[in-house]
Structures are given as structure tokens and as C-alpha cells.
């Protein structure tokens, strides 16, 4: 049986949604799905080298007053940082992370080297649309 394909549009750069995307990605990797992640707008900021390792630079998407409680719960439950979910999934299955060219430029990312080392390329929005049309599962986070 052919592996299923998931396309994820990662629009958000908030710590809660990045963590949720990482958990979903882990499930897809455990199911041996092929995954294409298109990092859009605010998501591109989170994938910049100087931002990705510093949760203090990431806000909550909803209920910003719950940020510290959320982070404390992640620590108490020994939940790995969001970026580790992405790194581990790339080790387990075919995961490609594409940075939207315009989104990167908005946040000062002109080259692939401006982003974390798990980013595979910089592309245009047309690649995302084609991938979404061909996916078995399509998520927008």
C-alpha cells in the first residue's frame, strides 16, 4: 500500500500552535506518512534561526494571558520543545519543510541559511497549492 501524503500549511508562529503542529506531525511520522510543511507568514518568523530556539520570543495565538501557564505545563509534563517534534519527525519519515519566499522576506529571511537547519527550501505559494491539491490530508494551522 502506498504511503498517505499530508500537506500542512503552518501559518501561525505562536508557541501553542507550533506545539500542536509538532504533535500532529509526530502522529503523521509514526504512521509513516509523507509530509510537506509550508511555513507561511508568521510561521516563517518562528523558523528564523534567532527566534526558533527562544520560546520567550514566541507568543500565544489565543489567550496570551495563559502563556506562562502553558509553558509551565509543558515543562511539568516533560513535553519537548516544538522544534524537537519537527526534527524527530524528519528523522522518522519523509518530511519536507518549505519556507514561503514572501513570508521569509517579510521577516528578513532572504536565504535558506537564515532559517533553522531543518528547512529544506524556499518556494512560492504555487508549490503549496499544488501539494494541497494532491494531499490525502490537508491541514492549515
Task: Examine residue 141 and state whether it is found in any structural domain, yes or no.
Answer: no
Q: Is residue 64 part of a domain?
A: yes
Q: In the prediction, which pLDDT does 140 show?
A: 97
140 lies in some domain: no
Domains identified in the chain, total number: 1
- pLDDT (average), residues 80-101: 96
pLDDT over threshold 90, residue 56: no
Residue 105 domain boundaries: 5-135
Q: What CATH number is given to the structural domain containing 42?
A: 3.40.1260.10
User: Mean pLDDT for the chain?
Assistant: 94
pTM given for the model: 0.93
Q: Which three cell numbers stand for residue 27?
A: 502522529
pLDDT attached to residue 65? 87
Q: Can you tell me the distance from the alpha carbon of 115 to that of 45, in angstroms, rounded to the nearest whole number?
A: 9
Query: Roughly how many angstroms between the first and final C-alpha of the chain, as a whole number?
Result: 28
* 9 belongs to a structural domain: yes
Amino acid at each position: 500500500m502506498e504511503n498517505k501524503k499530508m500537506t500542512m500549511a503552518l501559518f501561525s508562529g505562536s508557541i501553542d500552535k507550533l506545539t500542536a503542529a509538532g504533535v500532529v506531525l509526530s502522529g503523521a511520522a509514526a504512521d509513516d506518512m509523507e509530509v510537506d510543511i509550508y511555513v507561511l507568514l508568521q510561521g516563517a518568523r518562528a523558523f528564523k534561526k534567532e527566534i526558533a530556539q527562544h520560546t520567550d520570543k514566541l507568543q500565544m495565538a489565543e489567550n496570551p494571558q495563559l502563556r506562562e501557564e502553558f509553558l509551565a505545563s509543558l515543562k511539568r509534563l516533560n513535553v519537548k520543545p516544538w522544534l524537537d517534534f519537527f526534527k524527530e519527525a524528519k528523522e522518522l519519515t519523509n518530511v519536507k519543510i518549505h519556507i514561503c519566499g514572501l513570508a521569509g522576506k517579510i521577516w528578513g529571511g532572504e536565504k535558506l541559511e537564515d532559517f533553522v537547519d531543518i528547512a529544506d527550501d524556499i518556494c512560492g505559494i504555487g508549490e503549496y497549492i499544488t501539494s494541497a491539491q494532491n494531499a490525502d490530508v490537508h491541514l492549515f494551522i
